């Protein structure tokens, strides 16, 4: 589980590299803030329940970090802290529910709970245990990010007055690529046995995305390829086994769907600069679909997990962001975002030896 910190660092680097240079430092500080707040919430919960597995608080920190990913240099550190704390609590609630379902399904129901037998029978048939933290971390974080993005709104200058998207190029694709490598390396912590299969899914997804973007746009888009690899990695863990053909199919569909979802969000003015909604929120659905099609699970198996986890994450972050927005605490001041969060907030830029000229 110690490698999960490499996953966290990789996620921060991906967001930083795909963001604007004038907000790179703020992205990094925001990510570390969310990770720290989430880890603190996890430790408090661990002490409260007298738990012994001290790797769990770090996992809470990771899901809290992922919940703020993609917001870039738009939100305040205070907002990142509140979102991280709320999503960290939501993670613990889902984790406790998953454990409870596992316990209930393994014992006979006491007389007072017989009335709930149809519910428990449904869960025993369609509930997928939270193996590799697919639901309590990835699907939950994907929903949380979507809720935050919808409430926070796009970056200033991302869309014209007529609603057309304006390109805001990533300031350092190599930095983002290093982040993807660390995500791949750190994802071993979720499940070492499934890591090789997930690696195959991620690799196929990357190659598919390169081909798809070349055909769709006439040029290869490296940022979409990074998102696709991440999505394939997460989708591969959902399979729950090491198998070539299912992993290959997850990769193919992840490469296409991750790009398509990002474009769909863009059309609806949801500015997901990292593609995190696709990589963390939609990728588990792709893995489930392949399980159903390959007859490795009955149709609908695991769907209730995704609905609850994604919905819980979305509802939690949406509520917190709306409260923060009502007090004008969610987004940075427009001048801070336009001139650069780094210089306005920290008095220094991430690249002080260069003159920043981008919008």
Q: What distance in Å separates the CA atoms of residue 67 and residue 35, rounded to the nearest whole number?
A: 10
At 269-320, the pLDDT tens digits run 999 999 999 999 999 999 999 999 988 889 999 999 999 999 999 999 999 9
At 202-232, the pLDDT tens digits run 999 999 999 999 998 999 999 999 999 999 9
Residue 18's closest CA among 68, 72, 64? 72
What per-residue confidence (pLDDT) applies to 355? 56
Dihedral pair phi/psi, residue 76, rounded to 5°: -80, 165
Domains, the chain:
4-346 (1.10.3430.10)
Contact 23, 340 (CB under 8 A): yes
At 91-106, the pLDDT tens digits run 999 998 888 887 776 6
CB neighbours of residue 226 within 10 Å:
27
pLDDT band at 53 (very low <50, low <70, confident <90, very high): low
Asked whether the predicted pLDDT for residue 119 surpasses 90, the reply is: no
Asked whether the predicted pLDDT for residue 47 surpasses 70, the reply is: no
Helices (H), 218-302: 222-238, 244-267, 276, 283-293
What per-residue confidence (pLDDT) applies to 55? 60
Residue 201's closest CA among 243, 165, 153, 170? 243
Look at 6-20, 114-128, 177-191, 281-295 and tell me which has the smallest mean pLDDT.
114-128
Dihedral pair phi/psi, residue 282, rounded to 5°: -90, -30
What per-residue confidence (pLDDT) applies to 350? 83
pLDDT band at 109 (very low <50, low <70, confident <90, very high): low
pLDDT band at 181 (very low <50, low <70, confident <90, very high): very high
Mean local confidence (pLDDT), 171-194: 93
Mean local confidence (pLDDT), 163-186: 92
pTM over 0.75: yes
């Amino acid at each position: 589980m110690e490698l999960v910190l490499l996953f966290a660092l990789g996620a921060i680097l991906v967001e930083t590299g795909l963001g604007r240079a004038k907000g790179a430092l703020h992205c990094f500080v925001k990510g570390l803030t969310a990770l720290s707040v989430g880890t603190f919430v996890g430790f408090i919960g661990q002490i409260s329940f007298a738990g012994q597995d001290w790797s769990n608080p770090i996992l809470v920190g990771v899901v809290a970090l992922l919940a703020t990913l993609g917001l870039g240099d738009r939100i305040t550190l205070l907002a990142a802290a509140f979102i991280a704390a709320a999503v960290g609590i939501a993670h613990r609630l889902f984790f406790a529910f998953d454990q409870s379902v596992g316990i209930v399904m393994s014992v006979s129901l006491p007389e007072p709970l017989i009335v709930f037998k149809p519910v428990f029978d449904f869960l025993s048939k369609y509930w997928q245990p939270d193996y590799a933290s697919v639901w309590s971390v990835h699907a939950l974080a994907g929903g949380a990010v979507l809720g935050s993005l919808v409430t926070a709104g796009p970056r200033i200058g991302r869309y014209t007055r007529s609603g057309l998207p304006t390109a805001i190029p990533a300031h350092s694709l190599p930095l983002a690529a290093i982040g993807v490598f660390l995500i791949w390396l750190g994802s071993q912590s979720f499940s070492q046995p499934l890591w090789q299969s997930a690696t195959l899914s991620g690799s196929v997804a990357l190659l598919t995305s390169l081909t798809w973007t070349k055909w769709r746009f006439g040029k290869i888009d490296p940022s979409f390829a990074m998102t696709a690899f991440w999505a394939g990695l997460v989708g591969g863990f959902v399979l729950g086994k090491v198998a070539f053909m299912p992993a290959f199919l997850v990769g193919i569909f992840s490469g296409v769907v991750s790009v398509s979802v990002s474009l769909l969000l863009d059309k609806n003015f949801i500015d997901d600069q990292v593609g995190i909604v696709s990589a963390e929120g939609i990728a588990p659905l792709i893995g489930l679909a392949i399980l159903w099609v390959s007859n490795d699970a009955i149709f609908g198996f695991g769907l209730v997990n995704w609905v609850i986890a994604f919905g819980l994450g979305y509802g939690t972050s949406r509520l917190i962001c709306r409260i923060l927005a009502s007090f004008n605490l969610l987004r940075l001041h427009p001048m801070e975002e336009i001139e650069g969060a780094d210089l306005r907030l920290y008095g220094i830029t991430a690249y002080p030896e260069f003159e920043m000229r981008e919008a």
